[in-house]
Amino acid sequence: MKCPECEGKLEVLRLCRKVLLRCGTCRREYQVHEVAGELDRETEELLARYPAIIYD
Ligand SMILES: [Zn+2]
């Protein structure tokens, strides 16, 4: 999915206890709940690989 700020590509970034989305262009990081309403199918499938996501 695209970054709301610059329309760069967001990448799923796994941290120890949670997952963030990071823009590969502007490096801004988003928590999943911040963009939950805008997730596209590709990103949802990536996130689905992490069954223990903490959404806040
Ligand atoms: Zn960006």
Residue 32, phi then psi, degrees to nearest 5? -55, -40
What are the tens digits of pLDDT across the range 1-56?
999 999 999 999 988 778 899 999 999 999 998 998 999 999 999 888 876 555 55
What are the tens digits of pLDDT across the range 10-25?
999 988 778 899 999 9
Angle at 37 between CA 55 and CA 15, to 5 degrees: 30
pLDDT at 55: 56
Query: What span, in angstroms and rounded, lies between the C-alpha atoms of 2 and 56?
Result: 21
21, 27, 25, 9 alpha-carbon torsion, rounded to 10°: 0
pTM as predicted: 0.78
**Cβ of 3: how many Cβ atoms within 10 Å?**
20
Q: Which two tokens stand for residue 34?
A: 């911040």
pLDDT at 2: 93
pLDDT at 50: 78
Distance 8 CA to ligand 1 centre (A): 5
Ligand 1 (single-atom ion) residues, CB below 5 Å: 3, 5-6, 8, 23, 25-26
